[in-house]
Amino acid sequence: MKWRRHFTKKRLLILAAAPALYAGLWFLTDRVGSPQVRSVVVGDWNQAPGFTDISDGKNHAAGPYYYCKTRTIAPFLVHVDYGRHRARLSGHGGSYLYLWFFGFTDRVVVLSRFEE
Protein backbone atom coordinates (compact mmCIF):
# COMPACT_ATOMS: atom_id res chain seq x y z
CA MET A 1 0.00 0.00 0.00
CA LYS A 2 2.95 2.34 -0.36
CA TRP A 3 1.53 3.25 -3.75
CA ARG A 4 -1.33 5.14 -2.09
CA ARG A 5 1.05 7.14 0.01
CA HIS A 6 3.12 8.26 -3.00
CA PHE A 7 0.22 9.00 -5.34
CA THR A 8 -2.19 11.13 -3.37
CA LYS A 9 -5.06 12.92 -5.07
CA LYS A 10 -3.15 16.19 -4.97
CA ARG A 11 -0.11 14.70 -6.70
CA LEU A 12 -2.25 12.99 -9.32
CA LEU A 13 -4.03 16.26 -10.00
CA ILE A 14 -0.71 18.03 -10.50
CA LEU A 15 0.53 15.21 -12.74
CA ALA A 16 -2.60 15.53 -14.89
CA ALA A 17 -2.69 19.34 -14.91
CA ALA A 18 0.92 19.90 -15.98
CA PRO A 19 0.63 18.24 -19.43
CA ALA A 20 -2.77 19.86 -19.97
CA LEU A 21 -1.31 23.30 -19.20
CA TYR A 22 1.66 22.65 -21.50
CA ALA A 23 -0.62 21.56 -24.35
CA GLY A 24 -2.91 24.53 -23.78
CA LEU A 25 -0.04 27.02 -23.91
CA TRP A 26 1.27 25.35 -27.07
CA PHE A 27 -2.16 25.61 -28.69
CA LEU A 28 -2.47 29.27 -27.66
CA THR A 29 0.96 30.04 -29.09
CA ASP A 30 0.03 28.30 -32.33
CA ARG A 31 -3.34 30.01 -32.78
CA VAL A 32 -2.54 33.50 -31.46
CA GLY A 33 1.23 33.87 -31.23
CA SER A 34 2.25 32.55 -34.65
CA PRO A 35 0.07 34.99 -36.63
CA GLN A 36 1.23 37.89 -34.43
CA VAL A 37 4.89 37.01 -34.97
CA ARG A 38 4.31 36.72 -38.73
CA SER A 39 2.67 40.15 -38.88
CA VAL A 40 5.58 41.65 -36.90
CA VAL A 41 8.17 40.09 -39.23
CA VAL A 42 6.39 41.14 -42.43
CA GLY A 43 5.64 44.59 -40.99
CA ASP A 44 9.32 45.23 -40.21
CA TRP A 45 10.31 44.79 -43.85
CA ASN A 46 8.88 48.10 -45.16
CA GLN A 47 7.83 46.17 -48.22
CA ALA A 48 7.86 47.96 -51.55
CA PRO A 49 4.61 47.79 -53.53
CA GLY A 50 4.40 45.11 -56.15
CA PHE A 51 5.57 42.15 -54.05
CA THR A 52 3.26 39.14 -54.00
CA ASP A 53 2.77 36.99 -50.91
CA ILE A 54 3.20 33.30 -51.77
CA SER A 55 3.26 31.97 -48.20
CA ASP A 56 0.18 29.80 -48.63
CA GLY A 57 1.71 27.88 -51.54
CA LYS A 58 -1.22 28.56 -53.87
CA ASN A 59 0.10 31.68 -55.59
CA HIS A 60 2.97 31.48 -58.02
CA ALA A 61 4.49 34.82 -58.87
CA ALA A 62 6.72 35.60 -61.82
CA GLY A 63 7.65 39.01 -60.47
CA PRO A 64 8.85 40.09 -57.04
CA TYR A 65 7.51 37.89 -54.27
CA TYR A 66 7.98 37.09 -50.61
CA TYR A 67 7.02 34.35 -48.19
CA CYS A 68 6.93 34.14 -44.43
CA LYS A 69 5.98 30.83 -42.84
CA THR A 70 5.68 30.31 -39.10
CA ARG A 71 5.37 27.21 -36.98
CA THR A 72 5.19 26.75 -33.26
CA ILE A 73 7.94 24.53 -31.90
CA ALA A 74 7.12 24.88 -28.18
CA PRO A 75 4.96 27.08 -25.99
CA PHE A 76 6.05 30.70 -26.53
CA LEU A 77 8.62 29.76 -29.25
CA VAL A 78 7.86 30.40 -32.93
CA HIS A 79 10.10 29.38 -35.84
CA VAL A 80 9.98 31.74 -38.84
CA ASP A 81 11.16 30.93 -42.39
CA TYR A 82 11.17 33.91 -44.71
CA GLY A 83 12.40 34.98 -48.12
CA ARG A 84 12.15 38.00 -50.43
CA HIS A 85 12.97 37.75 -54.12
CA ARG A 86 13.07 40.59 -56.65
CA ALA A 87 14.23 38.62 -59.66
CA ARG A 88 15.49 35.16 -60.47
CA LEU A 89 18.80 35.27 -58.56
CA SER A 90 18.21 38.38 -56.52
CA GLY A 91 16.87 37.86 -53.02
CA HIS A 92 17.53 36.95 -49.45
CA GLY A 93 15.95 35.02 -46.62
CA GLY A 94 16.55 32.89 -43.60
CA SER A 95 15.18 31.41 -40.41
CA TYR A 96 14.59 33.04 -37.05
CA LEU A 97 13.47 31.83 -33.67
CA TYR A 98 11.09 34.23 -31.93
CA LEU A 99 9.88 34.41 -28.37
CA TRP A 100 6.19 35.28 -28.09
CA PHE A 101 4.61 36.10 -24.75
CA PHE A 102 1.01 37.34 -25.00
CA GLY A 103 1.69 40.12 -27.51
CA PHE A 104 5.39 40.67 -26.79
CA THR A 105 7.63 39.38 -29.58
CA ASP A 106 11.40 39.28 -29.64
CA ARG A 107 13.86 37.59 -31.95
CA VAL A 108 15.87 35.11 -29.90
CA VAL A 109 18.33 33.78 -32.46
CA VAL A 110 19.06 33.84 -36.20
CA LEU A 111 19.19 30.22 -37.28
CA SER A 112 20.27 30.73 -40.90
CA ARG A 113 20.51 33.32 -43.67
CA PHE A 114 20.99 33.23 -47.41
CA GLU A 115 21.69 35.71 -50.18
CA GLU A 116 21.18 35.19 -53.91
Cα–Cα nearest to 82, from 45, 50, 46, 109: 45
Please check the confidence at residue 31 and state whether its pLDDT lies above 90.
yes
Dihedral sign of CA atoms 18, 22, 27, 29 in order: positive
Q: What's the pTM?
A: 0.79
Mean pLDDT confidence for 35-54: 81
Give the pLDDT confidence of 10-30 residue by residue, as tens digits.
Answer: 777 887 888 889 999 999 999
pLDDT digits over 57-110, tens only? 776 767 787 888 999 999 999 999 988 887 777 788 889 999 999 989 998 998
Whether the Cβ atoms of residue 68 and residue 82 lie closer than 8 Å to each other:
yes
